Amino acid sequence: MRRATITGIGAYAPEQEIPNSYFNELLGEDVDSWLRENVNISTRRWCSDNESVADLCEQAAKEALNDAELSPEDINLIIVSTDTPEYISPSTASVLQDRLGLKNAGTFDLNTACAGFVTAMDVASKYIASDERYEHVLVLGGYAMSKYLNKEDKKTVTLFADGAGAVVMSATSEDKGLLTSDLKTEGQYNGWMGIYGGATNMPISDQVIANHDHQLKFVHKFPKELNPKNWTEMARDICDRLGVTPQDVDHYFITQLNFNSINETMDNLQVDRQKAHMVMDQYGYTGSACIPMALHDAYKKGKVKTGDLIIFIGSGGGLAFAAAAVRY
């Protein structure tokens, strides 16, 4: 059986650092205390004026390719998961194919918001498993949400940040790689959070700009139990399919928005909280990039070992959820 295994890992965050103190001045109140206590964010990175999501993805991709010890010509497909693309059209993946010299790679973007990276890993694994022409697939999560933030909106401007993460997934006949996955959507929440202006439903106009509909908005407050409930159910289902217990899993990489939700999920699963590696304190919330950035951080710190069983769980606007189990 052909499976897709992770052979290279990379990540990148912009150089411009925005500490919580910046928002104390911007908003004229103490938001630093709330951010540290409630979401465990102390700083984040934002793109400079002349940086965009393709710049971030390019750097993450170069590191992943180097880590996999592959040349650009070895890559057969690029999948970019992002909801902050370089352009509405053409795809961000096509920009990267040109910049990186991946002349043998097909390209497409994938948008399931912050569940995108895990969804893209799942898609890549299915290409590799079903078609021998695909030996190496470059999977990226890219996020430049700072470009879409209303600096007067305390609910969004303090949380969201920029970054990119990448993995190379390669064909293997060994008993490892992506073992099983699960995709789920609760589409009734599609109007609760997003960037609603700028596409065909609401083209850019003076009115759209005046209403900030071209920027990220929380329209309604989500029930706080949504993420822990769905993350717990998906993790248990994956473990049942693999014939293991949640305690048998070595690492959990979960959407890095709220450490309390991650801890609640670990408690629900009766798993040591330390198994859920977190990076939101350093990088803020980086959407579709946050899971590969957390993986990269753990990998660089020597926490991820050959043979480890990993569960990835992403969730984002839509509401979209994606989970996958990988034997590293």
pLDDT grade for 218, boundaries at 50, 70 and 90: confident
pLDDT in tens, 24-55: 999 999 999 999 999 999 999 999 999 999 99
Query: In this predicted structure, what is the pLDDT of residue 124?
Result: 98
Q: What are the CB-based long-range contacts (under 8 Å, 24+) for 272-281?
A: 275/249, 275/250, 275/251, 276/251, 276/252, 277/251, 277/252, 277/253, 277/303, 278/40, 280/39, 280/40, 280/41, 280/256, 281/40, 281/41, 281/42, 281/43
* Contact in structure between 287 and 115 (CB atoms under 8 Å): no
Query: In this predicted structure, what is the pLDDT of residue 128?
Result: 98
Query: In this predicted structure, what is the pLDDT of residue 223?
Result: 86
Position 147 pLDDT exceeds 90: yes
Query: In this predicted structure, what is the pLDDT of residue 271?
Result: 98
What tokens appear for 260 in the block?
A: 């309390």
**Start and end residues for every CATH 3.40.47.10 domain found in the chain:** 3-174, 179-327
For the chain, what is the mean pLDDT?
96
pLDDT grade for 259, boundaries at 50, 70 and 90: very high
pTM: 0.95
From the options 3.40.50.10490, 3.40.47.10, 3.30.1360.120, 3.90.1660.10, give the CATH code of 3-174: 3.40.47.10
Query: 22 by DSSP, 3-state: which?
Result: helix
Position 243 pLDDT exceeds 90: yes
Mean pLDDT across 204-233: 92
Q: Report the distance separating Cα 157 and Cα 152, nearest Å.
A: 8
Q: Report, at the CATH architecture level, how domain 179-327 is classified.
A: 3-Layer(aba) Sandwich (3.40)
Q: Report the distance separating Cα 182 and Cα 119, nearest Å.
A: 9
pLDDT in tens, 269-291: 999 999 999 999 999 999 999 99
| Strand-strand pairing, 217-218 and 193-194 | antiparallel
* Contact in structure between 160 and 304 (CB atoms under 8 Å): no
Position 15 pLDDT exceeds 90: yes
Q: Report the distance separating Cα 262 and Cα 256, nearest Å.
A: 8
Query: In this predicted structure, what is the pLDDT of residue 139?
Result: 98
Q: Report the distance separating Cα 282 and Cα 42, nearest Å.
A: 7
Position 12 pLDDT exceeds 90: yes
pLDDT in tens, 65-109: 999 999 999 999 999 999 999 999 999 999 999 999 999 999 999
Query: In this predicted structure, what is the pLDDT of residue 71?
Result: 97
Query: In this predicted structure, what is the pLDDT of residue 133?
Result: 96
Query: In this predicted structure, what is the pLDDT of residue 1?
Result: 84
What is the percent of the chain with per-residue pLDDT over 70, rounded to a whole number? 100
